[in-house]
Structure 1
């Protein structure tokens, strides 16, 4: 029986390019269970379990584009090479057989990588100005040619995603990783076309979206994830007002973003003074595009504290969704521990819902 209080979560979603059975999304969460950077049968089964239990759209963990420094670990999946792409094709097959839809999150960690990290020990971290998130110089800035090659690597990954059957792609432009390092003034000091004010610093992302669009065509959904906060600075801001947000979003909309995934640590917090709208709410109002909201859904502590969290009411979330402040809701840690979380919510089985504990990070539930 459907739980009436959560009914808005279970309305179908339709945009011009994406149709989902409900409003729930599995948030991308790095797991590190892909030996040799290749997603295996266990990874495929992990995603299938969520599809079997009514998750509307699965966004995979971050998966590295074809660049030697795109990821920082030998068990983090990549999105290039025959073995890895065959592994992902199997993930898609399992999810589709269970009736689900899935998008890979295309990722490059940029300057958050340490020199000597696997899988390519010799590969140096790269970023717009060679600065880490603290603004310290680690490496030389990327050349224009190197930046253009990175754009093409994203485009090739997008083409491969469509070819092997994914339903959309998500480009990871949040949290202080490579694309976000171009957005952020602390890490981007360039004076060429990829640098300048906060609008000009969108150029790298714009070229990535445009290149991906050329590869996948007009009818394939491109999701773009962005955030204000960085891993080393939860108070960081790319923009400080709705007017600035509008100027930041406009080039990305024009480039071809279909859905914005607006990452906040707590979905219930307002983004700017004088309004209760969160980052997703403002992004939807300004851009006119569908948006995904995310941030500690169903739990009572923020996701940057992985010590544990208790379950919490969804009333505030459902109210915002019912008011059309956002279109889709991404669930992270709640789904990490409990593949049946969405189904339990749908059926009103709140007593069966599992609290999050840090042991969930050590296995694929």
Structure 2
């Protein structure tokens, strides 16, 4: 199929036009609809400082034509937030200074750079600073640690957070957001998905609190809303501020909100009342019903109930499929994750009608602990 910008084919816009329209988030113009989704890479130094490997990893996506790059989940404090050994941090001035040249070079290629701030909570399997994990209530994830990221065996039972520790978490996100601003990031994404701490507060199976942070959905979403308010106040209106939401967890891929679309309406409506600039949905397949047969997709529900710009993520490597969600008004942007590992230049390939490589986990998912420097160079060259 040859690229065309001649309008419509069979009454529908061609996917090249849809995916390569400019669109804005807040006051930031994104050159197309392609965004790199956040992916755990465990490639930084032991103390969380991003290194040259991390630098090359992110810059190649910007070279490849993506409009924005969202970092891996990046921990915001030196207490309980780290989730994986060799995970990147943005918790110290040292971290911020190491991120600065990475951000600069990504932006030099015309891409926006957004840092995803993540507190692992009870889903932490490796922490440079402590062996203790915390959660809204005593909580043990239902599956074992993820071995490809250096974990093994059962998660420990996380201890219940005190009110003071909740305040400490909010303070750490705010301080990390300030570091992000100083490092030159265009935006911040709060990780409220995939079973990490903010999602642990949101989910009734991990939040058994009886205070104002537990019980009703309004109470369980409270920490997310307060964090949005606090971070926005700290960084002002110029930085993009987003939040990622999912039903599925990294340790429970089949979990669904028990109230289905009704829960979605309450959660997304509350988020829609905040100063967040976008909502990013993580799903197995963003094009399928999110709450059972005949229901809306997660993206459609978020769009309808929040009124915010929506980033959809989940099995959207096919350009036709991705553009259809945008054309139907279910989302505004698509985030590509595994497919971006196989094709760091996905937008450029799609724009020029070049084939996309198939994702191969065995050859691509190589955390730092398992990759030699010469293998890294070969991997990077193959994926340019």
Q: TM-score, normalised by structure 2?
A: 0.85
Q: Which residue of 1 aligns with 2:85?
A: 74
Distance in 2, matches of 1:80 and 1:232, equals 25
Q: Which residue of 2 aligns with 1:8?
A: 18
Tell me if 1:354 matches 2:357. Answer: yes
Distance in 1, matches of 2:201 and 2:156, equals 15
> What is the CA deviation profile of residues 129-184 of structure 1, one whole-angstrom value per residue up to 9, with x for unaligned ones?
12123399824311001101101111111122122211111000001001000011
> What is the CA deviation profile of residues 36-65 of structure 1, one whole-angstrom value per residue up to 9, with x for unaligned ones?
311112211221111111101100011101
Gaps of 5+ in 2: 5-13, 144-154, 367-375
Distance in 2, matches of 1:285 and 1:109, equals 29
Q: Tell me which of 61, 67, 70 is aligned to 1:56.
A: 67
Q: Which residue of 1 aligns with 2:316?
A: 297
The alignment's C-alpha RMSD in Å is 2.0
Q: Is the 8 A contact 1:228 1:239 kept in 2?
A: no
How far 1:74 sits from its partner (Å)? 3.4
Q: Which residue of 1 aligns with 2:251?
A: 232
**Matched position secondary structure for 2:243:** strand
Distance in 1, matches of 2:220 and 2:156, equals 19
Distance in 2, matches of 1:251 and 1:67, equals 30
Distance in 2, matches of 1:277 and 1:186, equals 23
> What is the CA deviation profile of residues 190-247 of structure 1, one whole-angstrom value per residue up to 9, with x for unaligned ones?
0111111122101111111111011011332211001011123222123534333121
Structure 2 matches for 1:91-240, cutoff 5 A?
91-114=102-125, 117-120=126-129, 122-134=130-142, 138-238=157-257, 240=259
4+ residue segments displaced more than 4 Å? 1-4, 273-276
How far 1:91 sits from its partner (Å)? 1.0
Q: Which residue of 1 aligns with 2:44?
A: 34
Q: Is the 8 A contact 1:183 1:238 kept in 2?
A: no
Gaps of 5+ in 1: 299-312
Q: TM-score, normalised by structure 1?
A: 0.89
How far 1:274 sits from its partner (Å)? 6.6
Tell me if 1:336 matches 2:341. Answer: yes
**Matched position secondary structure for 1:199:** helix
Tell me if 1:88 matches 2:107. Answer: no
Q: Which residue of 2 aligns with 1:25?
A: 35
Q: Which residue of 1 aligns with 2:330?
A: 325
Aligned length: 346
> What is the CA deviation profile of residues 272-296 of structure 1, one whole-angstrom value per residue up to 9, with x for unaligned ones?
4575641011111111110000102
How far 1:2 sits from its partner (Å)? 4.4
